[in-house]
Structure 1
């Protein structure tokens, strides 16, 4: 059995490789791929350079693979053609399982971020390959907890619950799903919190008052531009909060904890680590 992990030079893919090893997959059965493979030589597995924009390289690394963990591209706006290259290469190789890191409720979500994931999920379904859809909610790492302590927390999600989770937990869950090998859809996230809840937890850990200021999506986008984000990025982030207010990022912890075989890492642990 050979498992290929794409995007292994990024933090999610790297952690997924480490989790495969920790769960007993022999190092010689793992192929870690990415654009800067010198960064992952220390993992002790086979490494191969593969770029999502290089179909020939993708076909070469997928040749003979049984399973592929397809970590979504880190380049929004370019994902659809890049992802098509990955799906076509996996199809040509005839892999027995393709696991893709998508977004929460991708099939029904109206988030800006969801569009490219919806298109990719459709490509995967049309390929006919057995597949796992790992629909991840928000990462704890999306929040700058040190900055929150200094400046407070701002957002536009109202009372909507966000089922954020540690990126390491979501990567470990991806590894577990590959090993399990069962084609299905997982909605992956932690127990969840409102942003007011999150501000209260940061306050408790930091030992100083931290407030949450809820804005309209339009005002939140203006705020983000005001603190230095490009307008396009600000629009995407404020739109995510708009959707979160309606439950777009709430999954609950059941699927994540099923794959982990343990409770999800509490957000308080992530806050302590960041501070």
Structure 2
């Protein structure tokens, strides 16, 4: 069995390739710049060059491939077209499984971040090959950039109210993806993947436990939180996206308790406090 992972130089894709190697599979790491994954080549991965905008290169990358993981791209505004290119190349290659990293609760998720995932999933609905959707909740690593300010000020700011995030470590999601890619019975499945749901007050407590410093959660109105992020150097458009995501959390969009991630991993996902503690070590 030959498994290809796109976006393999990114944070998630790289971890999926490493997880596949641990499973005894020689993965095909599909990247725009092979120089960025020389370490993966040294570990035994096969490197093939292709970007999401290059159908001919994608065709070459998927030659002889049985299963593909499309790690969603990061070029906002272009992602549906790019993802469609990857799917069409996989269809032309006749793959037996096409996996896609999406976002939870796509049918009712109104986050800005969900829009292109929804568009991509609509394309996947018409795919001619078996598809599995890996709807990943937040990575606990999403909060690492805010650890130092929260510890220094003693306050974690947000606009999520009492809404909960069922996060897990990025490595957990990568391991789950590797399990899907190397085992059978996943075609047609929609996995809502998340760990233990935590409110932001719980995240503040986890930061306190990891750092040994008292941290509390301060909830702000969405507009005020976006303004505060912008005032602290976050680009204004991205600040709006982050505040909008918190508003979705407040509505329960990321409060996932399906147990799908636990079943795929065969264990409990990594707690937030462990991710924070490792980052602070």
TM-score tier after normalising by the smaller chain length: over 0.9
Give the corresponding residue for 1:160: 163
Give the corresponding residue for 1:179: 182
Give the corresponding residue for 2:48: 48
Q: Give CA deviations for 1:140-179 in whole Å, capped at 9, x if unaligned.
A: 1111223321132111010001011101100111111111
Unaligned runs of 5+ in 1: none
Identify the match of residue 147 of structure 1 among 149, 160, 172: 149
The offset of 1:253, in angstroms, is: 6.2
8 Å contact 1:190–1:253 — kept in the other structure? no
The whole-number CA distance in structure 2 between the counterparts of 1:180 and 1:217 is 42
The whole-number CA distance in structure 1 between the counterparts of 2:85 and 2:137 is 25
Give the corresponding residue for 1:37: 34
Count of matched residue pairs: 272
Q: Give CA deviations for 1:162-212 in whole Å, capped at 9, x if unaligned.
A: 011101100111111111231111101111100011101211221221121
8 Å contact 2:4–2:30 — kept in the other structure? yes
The whole-number CA distance in structure 2 between the counterparts of 1:37 and 1:249 is 35
Q: Counterpart of 1:126 in 2: which secondary structure?
A: coil
Unaligned runs of 5+ in 2: none
The whole-number CA distance in structure 1 between the counterparts of 2:149 and 2:178 is 32
TM-score by length of 1: 0.96
Matches within 5 A, 1:173-252: 173-181=176-184, 182-183=186-187, 184-252=189-257
Range with greater deviation from structure 2 (136-145 or 203-212): 203-212
Give the corresponding residue for 2:121: 121
The offset of 1:134, in angstroms, is: 0.2
Matches within 5 A, 1:256-267: 256-267=261-272
Q: Counterpart of 1:127 in 2: which secondary structure?
A: coil
8 Å contact 1:146–1:274 — kept in the other structure? no
TM-score by length of 2: 0.94
The whole-number CA distance in structure 2 between the counterparts of 1:216 and 1:160 is 14
Identify the match of residue 254 of structure 1 among 244, 259, 279: 259
The offset of 1:269, in angstroms, is: 0.6
The whole-number CA distance in structure 1 between the counterparts of 2:255 and 2:34 is 35
The offset of 1:263, in angstroms, is: 0.9
The offset of 1:104, in angstroms, is: 0.9
The offset of 1:261, in angstroms, is: 1.0
The offset of 1:224, in angstroms, is: 0.9
Give the corresponding residue for 1:10: 10
